[in-house]
Every structure is written in structure tokens, then in C-alpha cells.
A and B are shown apart, each in its own frame.
Chain A
Amino acid sequence: MKSYINFLYNGEPVHIDFEKEGLSPTTTLLNWSRNNGFKEVKEGCAEGDCGACTVVIAEAATDGKLKYNAVNSCILFLPALDGKMVITAAGLVPETHNINDLHPVQKAIVEDHATQCGFCTPGFVMSIFALYHTPDQYDDPKINNALAGNLCRCTGYDSIRKATKAALKENKEDYYHQNEAILLKALQEIETDSLKIQVGDQLYLRPTLIDEAILMHGEHPEAEIINGSSDVALKQTKHFQRLPALLDLSALRQIKFFEKKDNELHIGSGMDLETIRGNVESVFPALYDILSVFASRQIRNVATMGGSLGSASPIGDLLPLIMAMDGSIVFTGKSGKRTVKANEYLTGYRETVLNSDELIYSIILPLPQANETVKMYKVSKRTDMDISTLSAAFRLKLSAGKVDYIHMVYGGMAAMTLHAEKAEEFLNGKEWNEHNVNETARILESTFTPLSDARSGAKFRNIVTANLLKKFYEDSKEN
């Protein structure tokens, strides 16, 4: 147990002893960077929406190589950096006025006129730099997806996409390729351990073992649980709340796993959503699709499935699909593990069956079978990087043209995620045709009594609830 962290910042070692320095453990990486002279890290929104604060965090992956992730530094607390490497735009090459000395990503930005006012540029550069170190076949949709978490108000994005392609095509070795072995060694030499930081009235716990986490959770039930902190951090960055106690699960390797067993996925609650997304494109397209529009790349790199379920939001984008698949959630606590059905997880608005001494351990998600059609739709004002107005997951099995079973699970329509039970029952055993779908759509229009809020009115939500079934019907014909 220690109260200090060590990390590399643009290659330089940094040591922060929170208690000695009297530094709040919930200091964000953005604020720390700017207060220490790294002004290339910008604040545009302080809520992980605009991407101006994007930096890259690199750490040793399981394959022994460095893995580069773009993240929003505005909503990342410093303790999460222990044993990792932070790279900002200024860390790509030493300061230079010669364009030929720039990093290939920076050079492409200049040559393709992909910057105007320049405020968003360091963030874009870091998102593209992460791609530069993540080999893949990059086409327009993949580039768009990777940059969906960066806003630019000047360029219109075309020039940025062009620059991204040019940089990725160039693909010559940069400082980080050339020095990978040295950097890996420097990271390995950092002694990481559980953190317990008490500064003034703030307590920050970051255990490295699950048993330790359960113990700490028991001792400090008041501590708010975080992993990527992409949700909880906003309480501080937007509302200036002083978070009194936090239990950070991001150092628990035991809950970072992704396994395919028979016809199920077993996903550790601490697994980041971007890695899950990368693993499910062919085995579970509906999950891939919803994860592709879940927040942004920067958020998905830190956000976890456990966090999404733990916040128990009525508009969480994952639970409808997990419920439609009849998945399960595994809890762990002092008295061991127990498994509950995802359909029995929520009990009310942000209320769950999770006991106060338990943590979410993993999610068991059955895969769609060959004779099933599974889709998930998200309706939001923006395609990317938006909160759902409503979302719906559908799972259908037909036998000889008739509905064997259908699951329709809606988010954003009530205080919690719900099955449209009446509509499901109505369709069971019936022919899967336009007439019956339209009849069911009529039932769906009055199934829920949603709220009217900033995102939409109740009437719109009810109409779309019905229309999504019609969309699913059309899509099901393609399969």
C-alpha cells in the first residue's frame, strides 16, 4: 500500500506523493498538465465530449508490447496513471520549426491544411497518433469512428480525415517505435502497488487485487466506485463537488478478461468497452454496432461494462441488449460469488439487487444463435458521442415463419430498462408479417409512459418505440 504514484510523461519520470504535496487525488490529468506547463492539453468542455484534452496513455499489453490508447484527460484522475506513460502532442518530437522534423501525424496535419484555429488540433493529433500505433486497415468509417470524440468547428473534418489517411500511409518508425524496448523497461521498473491516499477530507483507494477491493468496499461503503471515472468525474469537473471517498477498480487485472466459452461471452466487469468492441465484430454484430456508437473512442478506452451496469442508468446502452439475450451478471463479495439474471438486476430508478457489500465481477452474455436475429438500435440527436433518447434491443427466433419467441427491451422509456411484455406476448406464436408487426406497433405506442426532457418529448418516444419494431422487421428480412 502506498500513497504515491510514478508514471512517465512524454518520456520523463514523474513522481507524485499526494499526501506530502497536499495534492487532491481527484486532480484531473488535464489540470495537472496545464498547471505544470503542458499547455498543449486544452479544455473545451471538461466533460469528455469535445476531445480537445485528448492525450495518449501507453502501457504494456498482454502481448508484451506497448498499447496506445487515446483518452480524455479532463475526466481522468491522476492515480489511474500509476505505472503508465502519458504522451501529449508536445511529446511527439522535440520542439521544432522545421516541418520535416515533425511527427508524421503533425506533418500531415500541416500539409493537408487540417488545422485552422488550432485549439482542437493537439487533441486530434493524439487521437490520430493512437491509430498510428494501432495497425489496422483504416477506411473512412474506421477513421470517423476513431475521431468521433474530437470536435473541430473550423475545418469541416474533410481535411483532418485526409491528413489522417496520409499519416497512416506514411507509417514510418517514430520515436516510440524506435524506443519501445527502453520505454517498456522503464515502465516495468515502476513499482506499482495498491494505493491509499488520504488528503484532507478526501480518501482515494485503488486496490490491485479483487479480495482487497472487497475488503476496502466493506470498510468504506461510502466510497463511490469508479473504474474509468468517465461518469463520476463530471461531478467534480462540471459541478465542483469535492468527492469525499472513491474506490477505483482500474488496477484490478483479475476483472479485465474477455473469454468466449461455448456459446457465451464471459466479460470481466473491468474490461474496457473498446477492447470488447474489437473482439465482437464477427461473433456478435449487434453488440459491435451498439458499442461503435457508445460515447467515443476516448471514453470507450477507459469505460467498462461493469461501470455501465453499476451506474444503473435507465438509458444505459448495454443493458437492453444483455437483457434481450437473457444474460447474467456475476457479483462478488465477502461470501463469494453469486449470479443473477440481467432481467432481474434492476429494481427501480438506479436501484439494483446488488448488495452494498458486493461488486460486479463479470457479465455472461449468450451469443446469438444461427437461427436468431438480434439487433440493437440507438436513437439520439447526434449519431456519435451522444446520450440515447431511447434505445431498443430485439431478439427473434422464427419457426416456419412463426414467432417462436421475441424479446423487445427498451432503454430510456421508463425509470429502468424494460421488456415490452405485452407486445412480446402478442407476437408469440403469430406469423412474422407486416400485418402482425403493425398490430404490435400499435400496442407499443401505448406500452410506456416516458418522460419529456431535453432530448425529446414523450409523444416522439412512443412513436419511435413502435417504429423501431418496424425497422427491426425490415432488417430481419435481410437475414
Chain B
Amino acid sequence: MGPVFHDEVCLADKELLCIGHTYAVVAADTYEQAYLATKLIKLDAEEKTPVLSIDQAIAANSRLQPERKIERGEVDKTFKQSKHILEGQFKNGAQEHWYLETQSCIVVPGEELELMVYSSTQHPSETQAIVSEVMGIPRNEITVETRRLGGAFGGKETSGNHVAAWAALLARKSGRPIRIRLTRDMDQAITGKRHPFQSDWKIAFDDN
């Protein structure tokens, strides 16, 4: 699943890529019960060398997407002929949207395959498409309703989809309405958000 590139898994099965990469979801009557139940999950996994910075990622050729270049003018020629050349690098840190209301979703199972999804999403039709894909049911079985969001700033365009898909899975499995509301800490750990950027720049100019 994913907004543009469908490169995210609903729940990790083979590889855990980061802290907050979700591999199991638990339903219970109270939040505390659910939290305590997650502490009983035993994870059988082997550790790999983590890639924690952009420089490490470049060295390990672990790229999200191909390198991108923005060029203007006759680049090669101008760099050869110009009197002055400046170059450098700038880095943008990662950003978190910090909507006051964390990602939330309620899924109520209806007749047969039907699912009623109340999601704090900025993109209800995409949430419908993702839940449909994950559940393997046609989109017309899924109704997505969005109430007023408690802030989003773009942070609920795609990140709400995971929560909706998990709630749908648990609702189908239990046959009961499921509500997921992430705690602030979980929200920050789980949702990817604006990742950091690193840009190298080079500019050529003459005396004029």
C-alpha cells in the first residue's frame, strides 16, 4: 500500500525497517489492556546494521528513490567556462506535522462484507481504496466518513490509511466495532512524515 508508490506493507512480515514499524495490532476492551497485551508479544528477529543518516544511506546505496537533479542553463559548458564557481550542501531536518488530534479511526462491520470507516483522513477516497486493497473486498463495500479533523497540515493525507486498514482488519476478525487512537508517542514513531533532505548545490557565475 502507499499513496503514489505502493511500497509499504500493511503490517511488517519479513523486515522491520524502523522503530515504529508496526508488525502486530491488538484489540482489547480498554486501552490499558491492549497496551499491556502488546508487551507480551515475543519478537523473533535478527538485528541488522542500521542506516541512520543520509550519508550512511548514500554509502549503502539505500535510496528511497533515484537521485534527482534540478539544472538550469547549459550546465557542463558553463561550468567549464565560468570564472567563479560556488558549491555547498544544505540539509533539511525531518519534520513532524503535530496535528493536535492524533491519527484516529473507528471501523464498524456491517452486513456481510460491508465496513463503515470513520477516519480522521484528509483523503477519504484513498482511505477507501487502501482498505479495499488490504481487505480484498470491492470499494463499494466500504463507506468512509470523515468528521472535522483535529488538525492535519498534510499529515493525514496518507498516514491515516494504516490506522484505517488495521482497524478494518481487527473489525473483520472480531466482528465488533474497533476504535484505534494512537498515543502521541506512537503517532510520532509510526507515521513517517516529512523525511530529512540533503541537497548538494553548485553554481557558476561571471563578474557581471
**A120 and B185 contacting across the interface, CB-CB below 8 Å:** no
Whether A50 contacts B185 by the Cβ 8 Å rule is no
The main secondary structure of chain A at its interface with chain B is loop
A117-B149, A240-B32 in contact; A153/B184 too (CB < 8 A)?
no
CB contact under 8 A between A240 and B148, given known A42-B101, A44-B184, A45-B184: no
Residue from B36, B100, B148, B184 within 8 A of A120 (CB atoms): B100
Contact with A along B149-183 (1 / 0, CB 8 A): 11111000000000000000000000000000001
B68-101 interface mask toward A, CB cutoff 8 Å, 1 = contact, 0 = none? 0000000000000000000000000000011111
Cross-chain contact B150 with A118 (CB below 8 angstroms): yes
Q: Does A151 contact B (CB under 8 A)?
A: yes
Provided the pairs A117-B151, A240-B32 are in contact, do residues A153 and B99 lie with their beta carbons within 8 angstroms? yes
Residues of B within 8 A of A119 (CB): 99-101, 150-151
Give A308 to B148 CA distance when docked, in angstroms. Answer: 40
Contact status of A153 and B36, CB under 8 A, knowing A45-B184, A46-B183, A117-B148: no
Kindly name the residue among A50, A52, A153, A154 whose own CB sees the greatest number of chain B CB atoms within 10 A.
A153
A153 touches B183 (CB 8 A): no
A120 to B148, CA, bound (A): 13
A44/B101 in contact, CB under 8 A: yes
Contact A240/B100 with A42-B150, A118-B148, A154-B151 known, Cβ cut-off 8 Å: no
Task: List, in ascending order, chain A residues with CB within 8 A of B97's CB.
Answer: 153
Query: Hey, which chain B residues are within 8 Å of A47, CB to CB?
Result: 184
Hey, which chain A residues are within 8 Å of B152, CB to CB?
A: 117
A119 to B151, alpha carbons, bound, how many Å? 7
Give the CA-CA distance A47 to B188 in the complex, in Å.
15
Compute how far the CA of A47 lies from the CA of B151 in the bound complex, rounded to whole angstroms.
19
Contact status B35-A240, CB under 8 Å: yes
B100 and A46: CB pair below 8 A? Answer: no
Q: Most A CB atoms within 10 A — which of B102, B150, B185?
A: B150
B34 to chain A minimum Cβ distance, whole angstroms, is 10
Given A117-B148, A119-B150: A44 and B35 within 8 A (CB)?
no
CA distance A42 to B149 in the complex (A): 13
Whether B100 pairs with A151 at a CB distance below 8 angstroms is yes
A44 partner residues in chain B, CB cutoff 8 A: 100-102, 184
Q: How far is the CB of B191 from chain A (nearest CB, A)?
A: 15
Chain A hits for B101, CB < 8 A: 42, 44, 117, 119
Which residues of chain B come closer than 8 Å to A50, judged between CB atoms? Answer: 100
- A119 to B35 CA separation, bound complex (whole angstroms): 25
Contacting residues, chain A, for B99 (C-beta < 8 A): 117, 119, 153
With both chains docked as a complex, state the minimum distance between the C-beta of B36 and any C-beta of chain A, in angstroms.
7
Further 6 A-B residue pairs, CB within 8 A, beyond A47-B184, A117-B99, A154-B151: A44-B102, A50-B100, A52-B100, A117-B101, A117-B149, A118-B148
Binding site for B on A (CB under 8 A): 42, 44-47, 50, 52, 117-120, 151-154, 238, 240
Report 12 cross-chain contacts, Cβ distance below 8 Å, ordered by A residue: A42-B100, A44-B102, A45-B184, A50-B100, A52-B100, A117-B101, A118-B150, A119-B101, A119-B151, A152-B100, A153-B97, A154-B151
